[in-house]
Amino acid sequence: MALQVGRRALLQAVRVQAATRCLGSARGGAAALSCSRRYVGFVKVSSVSRLDGHGARRYSSDPKEDLRVRHLDGQDAGIVVIGLNRPKAKNSISKNLVNMMMEAVEDIKKNNKVRSLIICSLVPGIFCAGADLKERAKMHQSEVGPFVSKARALITELGNLPIPTIAAIDGAALGGGLEIALACDIRIASNTAKMGLVETKLAIIPGAGGTQRLPRVIGASLAKELIFAARVVDGTEACRLGLANHSVEQNSCGDAAYLRALELAREINPQGPIAIRMAKLAINQGIEVDLSTGLAIEEACYAQVIPTKDRLEGLSAFKEKRRPHFKGE
């Protein structure tokens, strides 16, 4: 009952809380990894590709390769990496990209073996430049509203994923690109990244959740300033404002944020998957309501982990002084 109350309360007033910390540079071990690390293994399988082996980084104008999905294996099993791959269009959001991302998000939602998601770019120097304005210019006015609604629905579904989601921002994340990142639980930016909701420059407003998520992340007053002025900030400033959890010094390969995101996903991976999902649910719902209702939501989420085999495994591992092996059961 408490959980149902929490769900109904999602539309109530927001209590914005910001708790962030900045990192000045990437960790030495991660920074030393190969430049091609994030691209190895991305191979085309279907309209949404998955990791089946090892392949070289290749650019293509084939719309079927606009998005690539990599399922890591070995010790990283459970980590999924979505790579935006529209180099000629700066990863701008097109009809095709929206459809492919929606398909990928739906697949992840149905897969209980996925423990965390990283969204990154396969194009150096860019995360996502926002809407594909060339495609938008060719749309009839009657098409614009439905397209924006579909993009908004995609980003909402991304935000509703039950697993931890991390945006690795190694380049420009503007407009809709930043809205994608804002829908993620955690944002990691290189110090050279550029981030901003710049829609007012085009006499429009953020239309895929930016006006709602940015205030929840950095507070209403700062969000108004950035949106009204269409201001773009770098990764260091984004971290100071609370827009990014971490700012890392960019490396010569241009993938410092991705490497830090991978480190973080590896920290999350060994933890109890059901507990992580319930913790995310409790935080996301609780932050929108008053403290009393939030505590009721937490209690309801806690009740979901009590009967799990993972909880018993955690107790046994603690008693036996060994690492637990959680199965999500």
Give SS3 for 81. strand
Residue 292 lies in a domain: no
Task: Say which of 176, 242, 272, 286 is annotated catalytic.
Answer: 176
Asked, for residue 252, whether it belongs to a domain, the answer is yes
Q: In what order do the strands lie in the sheet with 116-121?
A: 67-71, 79-84, 116-121, 165-169, 186-190, 246-248
Residue 71: inside a domain: yes
Of 179, 193, 223, 261, the active-site residue reads: 179
Q: Which is catalytic among the residues 30, 41, 168, 199? A: 199
Residue 209: predicted pLDDT: 93
Please report whether residue 293 resides in a domain.
no
Give the domain extent around 134. 18-268
Indicate the residue type of 225: E
Residue 262 lies in a domain: yes
How many secondary structure helices (H) and strands (E) does the chain include?
Answer: 13, 10
Confidence at residue 311, expressed as pLDDT on a 0 to 100 scale = 84
Residue 265 annotated among the catalytic residues of the structure = no
3-state secondary structure of 12: coil
Pairing state of beta strands 186-190 and 126-128? unpaired
Whether residue 183 lies in the annotated active site:
no
Burial class (CB within 10 angstroms; exposed 0-12, middle 13-18, buried 19+) of 67 = buried
pLDDT for residue 121: 95
Q: Which of 131, 208, 257, 282 is catalytic?
A: 131
What are 23's two structure tokens?
Answer: 């990192």
Total domains in the fold of the chain = 1
Residue 118: what pLDDT? 97
- At residue 147, the pLDDT reads 84
Integer CA distances (angstroms), 18 to 140, 187, 237, 240, in order? 41, 13, 15, 11
Question: Would you say residue 65 lies in a domain?
Answer: yes
**Does residue 316 lie within any of the structural domains?**
no
| pTM for this predicted structure | 0.81
User: Is 279 part of a structural domain of the chain?
Assistant: no
Q: Domain of 39: which CATH number?
A: 3.90.226.10
How high is the pLDDT of residue 35? 55
Residue 84 pairs with which residues in a beta bridge?
67, 121
- Is 199 marked active-site? yes
| pLDDT for position 309 | 82
Mean pLDDT of each 10-residue bin along the chain, 329 residues long: 42 34 39 43 38 38 82 93 93 91 93 94 93 81 83 93 96 95 97 95 92 96 97 96 95 93 94 93 94 95 90 81 80
User: How does DSSP assign 152-180, residue by residue?
Assistant: HHHHHHHHT-SS-EEEEESSEEETHHHHH
